[in-house]
């Protein structure tokens, strides 16, 4: 090989793609842009597919999922002690008041309605598919003797079950993950990390929309039974603000939710 040829190859090597930071940065930028576009496309696909799939799943499936999870949770929480009879009677009474306001179609979705009070200092309540609702005693302590607050929270949780949010979330997350895996295939560690983070943010955003939908249902259900949703708004305002931006929270801002509830009360919708 002549000296000129060697010099030419050395020059090409020093300026080639493998050694050009600018080319590497551009290539990485294009890759990340493609990933973002893929994620938004998969998100839309997952949402539409989940809606169609859940519509084809009978409510009995919700009840089976809820029953299995409910029994596990009762066993777990049972180790921390039992609530008082007064606490259980109070929640049972309010739960039955709200159930009587459901339409026949809504009752058909709640195949296995049941409310369970568990001894736990956390201020929380949650609904499982099929109508399993759990109320933690910490929430009752926070509400004190204000039944309207407890009633508002239960109406909200019943909304989660009636709207089938648990099953919708399970199906949507599964479709989202399968879509990403099918289209992208094998991923290196960096790309996998980016997609994992984006997938988590997508899940959080969907959770916020479900919380807002459950709020709207709760307001409507309370109105049917001639109760004011003001109790739900007051309860939301009593919650301590989460130390993270709303974008990264699984729930919308509590003050914003309380404001939306009062606006819905005033508009009669």
Taking residues 236-249, report their average pLDDT.
58
Q: Angle 165-184/147-162 helices, nearest 10 degrees?
A: 50
Query: Predicted confidence band at 22 (pLDDT cuts at 50, 70, 90)?
Result: confident
The dihedral formed by the CA atoms of 51, 53, 55 and 58, expressed in degrees to the nearest 10: -140
Give the model's pLDDT for residue 144: 94
Strand-pair partners of 127? 133
Task: Report whether pLDDT(245) > 60.
Answer: no
Comparison of pLDDT for 187 and 95, the residue scoring more: 95
What are the tokens at 181?
């895996």
SS3 123: coil
34-38, 54-58, 181-185, 204-208: lowest mean pLDDT where? 34-38
What are the tokens at 183?
């289209």
SS3 152: helix
Half-sphere exposure of 153 (CA within 13 A, CB side): 27
Query: Which pairing describes strands 125-128 and 132-136: parallel, antiparallel, or unpaired?
Result: antiparallel
Instruction: Give CA 252 to chain center in angstroms.
Output: 10
Q: What global pTM score does this model have? A: 0.73
Query: Predicted confidence band at 13 (pLDDT cuts at 50, 70, 90)?
Result: very low
Of 27, 157, 213, 263, the catalytic one is 157
157 flagged as catalytic: yes
Query: Predicted confidence band at 135 (pLDDT cuts at 50, 70, 90)?
Result: very high
112: which DSSP letter? S
Half-sphere exposure of 32 (CA within 13 A, CB side): 11
């Amino acid at each position: 090989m002549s000296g000129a040829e060697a010099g030419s190859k050395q020059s090409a090597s020093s300026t080639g793609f493998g050694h050009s930071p600018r080319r590497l940065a551009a290539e990485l930028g294009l890759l990340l842009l493609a990933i973002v576009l893929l994620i938004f496309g998969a998100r839309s696909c997952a949402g539409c597919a989940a809606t169609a799939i859940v519509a084809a799943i009978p409510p009995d499936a919700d009840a089976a999922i809820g029953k299995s999870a409910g029994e596990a949770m009762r066993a777990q929480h049972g180790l921390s002690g039992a609530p008082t009879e007064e606490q259980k009677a109070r929640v049972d009474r309010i739960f039955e008041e709200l159930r009587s306001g459901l339409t026949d179609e809504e009752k058909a979705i709640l195949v296995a309605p049941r409310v369970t009070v568990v001894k736990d200092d956390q201020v929380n309540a949650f609904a499982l598919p099929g109508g399993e609702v759990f109320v933690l005693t910490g929430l009752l302590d926070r509400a004190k003797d204000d039944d309207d607050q407890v009633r508002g929270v239960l109406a909200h949780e019943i909304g989660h079950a009636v709207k089938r949010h648990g099953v919708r979330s399970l199906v949507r997350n599964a479709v989202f993950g399968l879509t990403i895996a099918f289209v992208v295939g094998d991923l290196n560690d960096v790309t996998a990390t980016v997609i994992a983070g984006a997938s988590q943010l997508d899940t959080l955003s969907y959770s916020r929309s479900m919380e807002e939908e459950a709020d709207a249902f709760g307001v409507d259900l309370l109105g049917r039974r001639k109760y004011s949703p003001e109790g739900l708004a007051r309860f939301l305002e009593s919650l301590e603000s989460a130390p993270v931006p709303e974008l990264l929270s699984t729930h919308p801002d509590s003050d914003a939710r309380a404001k939306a509830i009062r606006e819905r009360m005033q508009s009669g919708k």
